Amino acid sequence: MEKHATKFTLERNRIGELFNAFPELNVRQVARAMGINETLMQQYVNGAKKPTYERRMEIERYIHKLGRRLTEVTLE
Instruction: Report the pLDDT value the prediction gives residue 9, as an integer from 0 to 100.
Output: 64
Residues near 42 by beta carbon (within 8 Å), at least 6 away in sequence = 27, 28, 31
Question: Does residue 4 sit within a domain?
Answer: no
pLDDT tens sequence for the chain (76 residues): 566 776 666 688 999 999 999 999 999 999 999 999 999 999 999 999 999 999 999 999 999 999 999 999 999 9
Give the domain range for residue 62: 14-66
- How far is Cα 53 from Cα 15, in angstroms, rounded to an integer? 11
Is 41 among the domain residues? yes
Position 44 in a domain: yes
| pTM (whole model) above 0.85 | no
Beta strand extents in 1-76 (DSSP E only): none
Question: What pLDDT, on a 0 to 100 scale, did the predictor assign at position 11?
Answer: 81
Does some domain include residue 58? yes
The residue count for the chain = 76
Q: Count how many domains the chain has.
A: 1
